[in-house]
Amino acid sequence: MPATVVVGAQFGDEGKGKIVDYLADRADVVVRFQGGANAGHTVQVGDQLYAFHLLPSGVLRKRTMNVIGNGVVVDPTQLLKEIEETRAHGHSVENLRISDRAHVVMP
DSSP state letter for 54: S
13 is a catalytic site residue: yes
Burial of 54 from C-beta contacts in 10 A (0-12 / 13-18 / 19+): buried
Which of 25, 28, 41, 53 is labelled catalytic? 41
Which of 13, 28, 89, 103 is labelled catalytic? 13
75 is a catalytic site residue: no
Determine the Cα–Cα distance for residues 5 and 3; give it in Å rounded to an integer: 6
Determine the Cα–Cα distance for residues 42 and 52; give it in Å rounded to an integer: 6
Determine the Cα–Cα distance for residues 42 and 83; give it in Å rounded to an integer: 15
Task: List, by residue number, the catalytic residues.
Answer: 13, 41
